[in-house]
Amino acid sequence: MQFAKLTRVVPTTFLVTLAVALAACTDGGSSSNPTSDVDVNVADTTPDFAEDQLIDLVQPESAVGRACAASSECDGGICSTLLPLGYCTLPCDAAACPTGSVCSVINDFPFCFQACTTSEQCRQADGYSCINGICNAACRSLFDCKSGEQCIKGECTLPPPDRIVGAPCVTSAECLSGYCLGESDGGVCGEPCNTTSCSLTGWTCRPLVPLGGNTALNLCGPGGVFTSDVITLTGGDPRSFNVSSDVVSFFIIAEGSVPSGMLGIENLRRPDGTLAAGPISSSGVTEPFRMFVNQGHASVMFPNNDDPTLQVQPGTWTFDIYEWGNTVDKVTVYLKRSLAGGEATQITFDMNIYLAQGAIPGVTAANAGANSHLQGALSRLQQRYWNPKGMNLGEVRYFDIDSSYLYVNDDVALHNMFADLTPEGGAGALNIFFVRDLFNGQAAGVSGGVPGPVGAQGIGGAGVAIAVQDYAIITGDNVSHEVGHYLGWFHVTEVDGTMHDVIADTPQCTQPPGQMWNYDPCMDNIMFPILVNDMVDQSLSNTQGHIARLNPRGR
């Protein structure tokens, strides 16, 4: 298939972890059979014991409200890490909570909270107060606070002016050193230096202008300072481009003249003549560097995993473009260059959000910035997955689109939506489309490729489509998973348990012949093919973050 699709099933509950099984999805692209344009629905792999029911919980002596790091500390309950220092709780309805607790709502889910009449009964030292009769935190994320404030121990406060060297900053007054480096220099607190020696590994001493200053000073800053170059290629196969010694990654986007026709990058050769990836018929499955065909475009990023053979060599690279019912209109290569050596520690992606009228009831571009469902989903993307790996959400722009896009039921409609509407948002951003339904309820999310043509506009694969879910937390996981595909992440393990991504630090879950699939270790990663809610501590691996930070289309 040309898209990465997340198919939707009825939400279920996995024991006391409350794992809401949304769907199994398949990576986009086609390798051995690029002529096929038939979507194959993935079978529901949810265990039989979890179908359409809440698992009965034995009510122990109440631990509700206790601090926790894991559910094992909650006497049969669950540990919600959404609240400061953890909070023991239980799923509930109006009459299901133990004595001393009441049923309330957190992130759209009903849970038991410790009952109270005064704040002294709550964990005040951890940021809890008695709010509307329950022990709760005044805030759970920065989106609950005013601009410039942070949510610290459940309270909205100004950030402390004591940030050490290397800590994120937006003004020099926040830093103990008195020097905050601008976003292009890392967006962190720097330190003065008189020699080439810096206190932090990977940092370099060089002339830098701190925020609020007008003169360059000798300051230590992150070594990973990067810029991107753009090359437009002309002519036919083999196509070539030159790479200098400071290039750490490149991204190729080929745009076709036929939105539904197939294109693919193949026979990618290093300067020494060896193949980094061969014909499209094999590179999608058997080679370390995976590439797929897509409808309307082809896009690849090199490297896209941590295989030691995938290193960018200086010199002339060549590649061919596979065409099936399509012809190439434009080919662009984006190069990411390191200006000072070191690894990219931060990257920022801007986002264009397109809202089909009625996808989120009452929400338009004018009020989207204040909508709790949408902002909760974006907060989930940032705080749970992106920010811990040095990935940041930059400028977010909102656009209204016609209600005719509420229901996107086939590839043609999807292509038209991506191609017709993305020019409005401007180039260089991730395009996210929020709709009511995808493929007659068979998909919860669709990515325009693995990777997608990041930053491109006006072509069939230029975006990610998201069917809005009932709960903000699930919409957020849906967005995080599909944007992950768009940035080039594959499933850590496919649903058959026989195919995995090629990243060393992501889990692999196999299915031996004749045995059940042991998928538990893989549920911890957001690129597991069945999404689960916050009660499972999902995350990204360090290498997944590293790959995203190499993307030349970020800043």
Domains of the chain: 69-155 (no CATH), 165-220 (no CATH), 225-554 (3.40.390.10)
Which pair of structure tokens corresponds to residue 398?
């909102």
145-155 residue pLDDT tens: 766 666 776 67
Which residues does the chain have with pLDDT short of 50?
1-3, 7-60, 534-535
- Beta pairing, strands 239-243 & 315-324: antiparallel
Say which residue the tokens 């050490």 belong to.
Answer: 164
What are the phi and psi torsion angles at 464 (to 5°)? -125, 130
501-555 residue pLDDT tens: 888 888 888 776 666 566 777 888 888 887 665 445 678 888 888 889 888 888 7
Write the CB contacts of 211 (distance below 8 Å, at least 6 apart in sequence): 169, 170, 171, 172, 180, 181, 182
54-73 residue pLDDT tens: 233 333 357 899 999 888 88
Q: What share of the chain is helix, strand, coil (3-state, %, to 5)?
A: 15, 30, 55
- Could you give the CA distance from residue 187 to residue 394 in angstroms, rounded to a whole number? 13
Which pair of structure tokens corresponds to residue 506?
């992501």
* Mean per-residue pLDDT of the chain: 78
Q: Please give the helix or strand (H or E) that residue 165 lies within, else none.
A: none
- Could you tell me what percent of the chain has a pLDDT over 70? 77
Closest by CA position to 517, among listed 534, 533, 499: 499
Closest by CA position to 526, among listed 474, 475, 477, 470: 477
* Predicted pLDDT of residue 531: 66
| Whole-model pTM over 0.85 | no
Closest by CA position to 379, among listed 464, 529, 524, 479: 479
C-alpha dihedral, 151 to 156 to 158 to 161, nearest 10°: -50
Which pair of structure tokens corresponds to residue 2?
């040309």
